[in-house]
Structure formats: C-alpha cells, structure tokens
Amino acid sequence: MIIVNLKIYKEAFGEKAVKLAEICRDVSKESGVRIIVASPAVMAVELLKTGVEVFLQDYDEYDEGRFTGMVSAKQAMELGIKGSILNHSENPKKKGTIFKTIKTAPEGFETILCVKSVGQIEKWARRAKVSFLAYEPKHLIASKTASVSSEQPEAIKRAVEASGGIPLLAGAGVKSEEDVRVALKMGAKGVLVASNVVCGKNPKEELEKLVKGFGK
Ligand code: G3P
C-alpha cells in the first residue's frame, strides 16, 4: 500500500492534481498495489472522478451541524472518500482532539493515525481504534538524501512490534525501491510518500520504482 500525500505542493494544484491522481490510478491497476491519493479537502471530490482511491489529509472532530470550516469524515464518506490521515506532524492535534475526532469516523472510514515517536506507538495502539498507524520521523520528511528506511530500519521494526497488530505504515524521505523493500522487510504494510513523487520530474517513473519494492 502506498499513500501519495499531495500536501499543498503547487505541483499538485488544480489540473496537475488530476494528472497525478490518474498516474496513481494507472500504476495501481498495472501493479496491483493499493495506491491512495491523500488529497487536500478542496480537491478530493474532483480527484475521485479519476477512479483513484482518495483519502483526506486531515479531518476534524465534528461530524455535522453548526460548525464552520470543519472537515467531516461523515460527509466525506457519503461522497465516497473512505479515509484520512490524522495528526500528521505538519498538522498535529492535541490528544483529546484526536480521540474526539476518531469517534466521528463512520463505520468503514479508514484513519491513518500518524505518531511522532516509536515510544508513543504502543500507547496509541492500545487506546485508539484506527485502521493504520504511521511512523514518520519529522526530520527526514522531504529529505533528498535519506529516508526512514535508510536511517531507521530498526525503528520501523520496533514500531511494528509496538503497534499491537494495527498495520503500520512508514514514511519520510521514501524514494526508492530499496526504501520500500526495507520498510516491508521490517514489517510495515506500506509507505507514505510525498515530495519525491509529487514534485518529481516524472511522477509515474517514481511510482513505478516504488511498486517494484512490493515485488510488482
Ligand atoms: O505523509 C507523507 C510525507 O510526510 C512524507 O513526505 O516528502 O518525505 O515523502 P516525503
């Protein structure tokens, strides 16, 4: 499984996001690897039309009612958006907010809860009902030379062990077949990627490299 997080990179504004979504859809179909686009809320419905699987990058602790500017998982689910990242290190939440937010997720809505340190994974795994936990060392995000796999393979392994059976995803600096292979070898179920695919000269080639790490 690969999550392609578009963030709000200008390379994924408007029509460019649609092109990236089509690439993700095609590479997923060709390889059989589940590839999900994590879209900004404003683009999500547009990207769904391509046929790719779309998640949000964040959602809020309110599902419906008199709340302005909030992103509702319930509303997203009704539109066909079946999951979201939550608590990304670029958009961290307070502990209480995370619990409140997760409770609003309707049945079948897949939350990927990002956790800062391996030490915190066990605590979250025990208390939070989420579909995935994600380990992303912040200092390696968008690195052009290193990745979670090259720098912290043992940490991925410990994160997997601490996750109590909740599938673990790893991210930060992931850019090669080898990065994916190492993450999977350490027990991760998939990877989160952003800069190397979204801002890359040839996003399709970059994604094709990554799916090879799954043996595809
Ligand atoms: O959510 C994925 C992201 O934070 C990883 O970013 O640019 O290191 O692939 P990047």
Per-residue pLDDT of the chain (216 residues; tens, 9 = 90+): 999 999 999 999 999 999 999 999 999 999 999 999 999 999 999 999 999 999 999 999 999 999 999 999 999 999 999 999 999 999 999 999 999 999 999 999 999 999 989 999 999 999 999 999 999 999 999 999 999 999 999 999 999 999 999 999 999 999 999 999 999 999 999 999 999 999 999 999 999 999 999 998
Q: Which pLDDT score is estimated for 116?
A: 83
Which CATH number does the domain 2-212 belong to among 3.20.20.70, 3.30.70.1430, 2.60.40.10, 3.40.50.9100?
3.20.20.70
3-state secondary structure of 54: strand
- Can you give the pTM of this predicted structure? 0.97
The residue type of 201 is K
* Contact residues for 159 (Cβ-Cβ < 8 A; gap 6+): 115, 118, 121, 133, 135, 168, 170, 188
* Contact residues for 187 (Cβ-Cβ < 8 A; gap 6+): 156, 157, 160, 161, 168
Q: Is the CB of 196 under 6 A from ligand 1?
A: yes
Q: Is the CB of 193 under 6 A from ligand 1?
A: yes
Could you count the other beta carbons within 10 Å of the beta carbon of residue 108?
9
Q: Which pLDDT score is estimated for 61?
A: 98
Q: Which pLDDT score is estimated for 216?
A: 82
* Contact residues for 145 (Cβ-Cβ < 8 A; gap 6+): 173
Token pair listed for 16: 């460019």
The residue type of 118 is V
The residue from 22, 136, 139, 154 that is catalytic is: 136
136 in catalytic set: yes
Q: What's the rounded Cα separation, in Å, for the pair 57 and 185?
A: 26
| CA dist list (Å): 11 to 18, 180, 201 | 11, 23, 10
Q: What's the rounded Cα separation, in Å, for the pair 62 and 53?
A: 23
Q: Is the CB of 166 under 6 A from ligand 1?
A: no
Q: What's the rounded Cα separation, in Å, for the pair 121 and 160?
A: 9
Q: Is the CB of 5 under 6 A from ligand 1?
A: yes
Q: Which pLDDT score is estimated for 206?
A: 98
The residue from 88, 178, 205, 206 that is catalytic is: 88
Q: CA 114 from chain center: how many Å?
A: 9
- Helices (H) and strands (E) counted in the chain, each on its own, are 10, 8
Helix (H) or strand (E) holding 124: helix 118-127
3-state secondary structure of 163: coil
Q: Ligand 1 centroid to 64 CA: how many Å?
A: 30
